[in-house]
A and B are shown apart, each in its own frame.
Chain A
């Protein structure tokens, strides 16, 4: 056994050395930092890390902090509407573009270009358009509609919808692009067969075509979910969490506590909550997406 193992290692020695950087990155930059963050969440660290043990104190404080609870609630609302609208809008766009329209590539380019821009840009530009003193509301007042109100970015009841608008503008094209690619792979025989049977087109899409595109739909939703959990830039650029704490999100809560409020214990507790949530949701997805068929080398 031992001799065989050493022969295997010797034959593939260079490959082991070549994968060393990846091993270092995984072990230290990913796993090590995760463990370090989790460890700090059980300490009383404030401005500097401390390695005492205070049990679940930071977690109790965390879930007693209104700003954190607001952040979680906001993220849930944003994620729900963002994913729903992106999915519906992106799917409709893909289906409409797939109807032999002229200037198809122009439409595709227009619907996907926001995805190439940074979230900072998306946040800034929608802040301007929705700004009551500058954008749509101001223009409508200029036309004489003085009762017209569109003050989402400064109204704490509506500010989340402003964020959703900006993120949907940024992300809907992704769903469109992936589903359109899927639609192009659908067998045209399906259309002939269902036309003969007199089945309306929308039924064919809902019951036959979309279920066939499941991999594309899952891929686009996974990509969008990752971006929404990481969401930080767009909020910082658009509202900076305001008015008040009305548009705070977890990623921003953690950053503020790490770098401005000098509360490392609380910040790492919050990041551990995010870590555990993401792992619980993502582990099965990753397993089924990437490892059902394992790589050739294994």
Chain B
């Protein structure tokens, strides 16, 4: 009813034939494209609920005749990467182990950098920040080899700390930018008053600035959780055999299969890997868009 009232309000008279056809055109265009965008998700879901006998019929667009969760169970507990058949649960655990410290520390550093950059006078800080931003545009391939050598020499190559540090490094530009822009919009009088009261750097940060940072911290969590969960390249190179994240394990399961390809298991595994970012996306709604936009909008 609401939307009817709204559209009627826009014209305040019955629609002409031309306008009716216009509406039909709009909904047809949007509807067809919505089908195109949903097609992959639909195929993944229906296939993941089929048995292998049904998959062999080769009708990937048809609904499952016998609804089965076997493929999901197999993907989670016993799908094989080469000879290792322990399922995606291993990758899921690894991704969580990588995700939590990476998200926490990258956001803490982002907030700290943003605060120091927008409230304190530090000579050369803006030059550093410019370099950091420029670095975020450079393909990872430029940094990877020297980082591998550096980690190898310090003895942490292929370990959890190595991948967490790497995520902190590559998350720093956008996190710093996010918080710096947000803090630039806070009233500077607040800061000056606190200084006159004798509050120092950390006191102002912890008792004034951080409590005001909740909205931007939510945006930061959404951005970092999706980015780090979806990462493939860094996990592949730095995490090491025992900590490979879910995306890498998924690709290994799907692309190293020998013999008949278990498409139902593969697609269940793909949906499982997407569940975390999809949930974040569906729950966060407009905050997700805000995150994307603030990643590159001028300060």
> Which bracket fits the contact residues of A?
35 or more
What are the residues of chain B within 8 A of A222 when measuring CB–CB? 296
Contact among A26, A101, A271, A286 with B137 in the assembled complex (CB-CB below 8 Å) = A286
What are the residues of chain B within 8 A of A293 when measuring CB–CB? 298-299
A134 touching B60 by the CB < 8 A rule? yes
Contact among B38, B117, B144, B230 with A295 in the assembled complex (CB-CB below 8 Å) = B117
Q: How many A-B residue pairs have CB under 8 A?
A: 291
Q: How far is the CB of A13 from chain B (nearest CB, A)?
A: 9
> Is A117 an interface position by the 8 A CB rule?
yes
B113 touching A19 by the CB < 8 A rule? yes
> Is A40 an interface position by the 8 A CB rule?
yes
B43 touching A297 by the CB < 8 A rule? no
- Chain A positions 245 through 271: 1 when the CB is less than 8 Å from some CB of chain B, otherwise 0: 000001100110011000010011011
Interface residues of B in 232-259 (CB under 8 A from A): 232-233, 237, 247, 250-251, 254-255
User: Could you tell me the distance between the alpha carbons of A21 and B247 in the complex, rounded to whole angstroms?
Assistant: 29
Known: A100-B6, A121-B274, A124-B254. A297 touches B118 (CB 8 A): yes
> Is A282 an interface position by the 8 A CB rule?
yes
What are the residues of chain A within 8 A of B128 when measuring CB–CB? 19, 22-23, 26
Contact among A19, A114, A134 with B37 in the assembled complex (CB-CB below 8 Å) = A114
User: Could you tell me the distance between the alpha carbons of A129 and B118 in the complex, rounded to whole angstroms?
Assistant: 49
> Is B293 an interface position by the 8 A CB rule?
yes
What are the residues of chain B within 8 A of A226 when measuring CB–CB? 136-137
> Is B30 an interface position by the 8 A CB rule?
yes
What are the residues of chain B within 8 A of A33 when measuring CB–CB? 142-143, 146-147, 150
> Is A125 an interface position by the 8 A CB rule?
yes
> Is A145 an interface position by the 8 A CB rule?
no
B142 touching A26 by the CB < 8 A rule? no
> Which bracket fits the contact residues of B?
35 or more
Q: How far is the CB of A160 from chain B (nearest CB, A)?
A: 19
Contact among A118, A274, A282, A290 with B273 in the assembled complex (CB-CB below 8 Å) = A118
A101 touching B26 by the CB < 8 A rule? yes
What are the residues of chain A within 8 A of B237 when measuring CB–CB? 259
- Least CB separation from B57: chain A residue: A142
- Least CB separation from B120: chain A residue: A15
What are the residues of chain B within 8 A of A115 when measuring CB–CB? 292
Besides A30-B169, A101-B30, A118-B229, 13 new A-B residue pairs in contact (Cβ under 8 A), listed by A number: A19-B128, A29-B169, A100-B7, A110-B38, A111-B33, A111-B34, A120-B250, A139-B61, A142-B59, A181-B289, A226-B136, A297-B119, A297-B125
**What residues make up the interface of A, taking CB atoms closer than 8 Å to B?**
8, 12, 14-16, 18-19, 21-23, 25-26, 29-34, 36-37, 40, 49, 89, 92-93, 96-97, 99-102, 105, 107, 109-122, 124-126, 128-129, 133-135, 138-139, 142, 169, 173-174, 177-178, 181, 215, 219, 222-223, 226, 229-230, 232-233, 236-237, 240, 250-251, 254-255, 258-259, 264, 267-268, 270-272, 274-275, 278-279, 282-283, 286, 289-298
